[in-house]
Amino acid sequence: MNLAEGVQIVSFGILAVMMIGAALGVVLSSSIVYSAFLLGGVFISIAGLYLLLNGDFVAAAQVLIYVGAVNVLILFAIMLVNKRQDFAPYPSAGLRKIFTGVVSLGLFGLLSTMILATPWAYATNPVTGESSIVVIGQHFFTDFLLPFELASVLLLMAMVGAIILARREYLPDADTTEQAQSVLTLPERPKEMAAIGSIRNDSGDTPVYRGSSRRE
């Protein structure tokens, strides 16, 4: 083992530990804002793993798209739709936790078995070929053209939804606008409509307002 291989192994261990710790923080944190920030840490760790695999463009796209766009969009959505509500306890929460733990351990065991049973081949000479950007571009516009366009439509829908959520805070309701207009409407003859105090006449039937004359 030379120095380069040792640095790669140490870097892989650090990135793996950071990614697993941040992923556990996303799931176990009680604050959704902290979970969103820890999710950004997971994305950055994955970008570091792409760099170790010589996928420089994929690593840059991971940081720009997931950290710079998706994670920021999640934070904006949390800040715009952050309602202070108490979480209602779910029925049979213990059984759900047990079921989730069993499924997680099963997936971990399955992946570990596949990794240990796969005969990994190590290349002694570096593979020379086209750049990863050229290969990704060819696949995007040939084999994966439809998923690429669907992903763009999905991002457009997310942007429109974020705009609607942001503008909903500033658009008043129709009932509120009508009430405000009715309150601000002045009477035609305010001196006769405004009643400062009232007195009754001798018979006690007809009220007489101040500022107006009573006819006999």
The tens digit of pLDDT for each residue in 53-79 reads 888 888 988 888 888 877 887 777 777
Averaged pLDDT of the chain: 76
Decide: 44 and 67 in contact? Cβ < 8 Å.
Answer: yes
The tens digit of pLDDT for each residue in 8-29 reads 899 999 999 999 999 999 888 8
The runs of H, that is alpha helices, within the chain are 3-28, 32-52, 56-61, 72-80, 93-117, 132-140, 145-168, 174-184, 190-193
pLDDT for 215 = 47
Question: Which is more confident, 155 or 63?
Answer: 63
Is 103 buried (19+), middle (13-18) or exposed (0-12) by CB count in 10 A? Answer: exposed
pLDDT for 21 = 93
Give the separation between CA 209 and CA 192, rounded to whole angstroms. Answer: 8
Question: How is residue 198 annotated by DSSP?
Answer: E
Question: Which is more confident, 54 or 185?
Answer: 54
The pTM of the whole model exceeds 0.95 = no
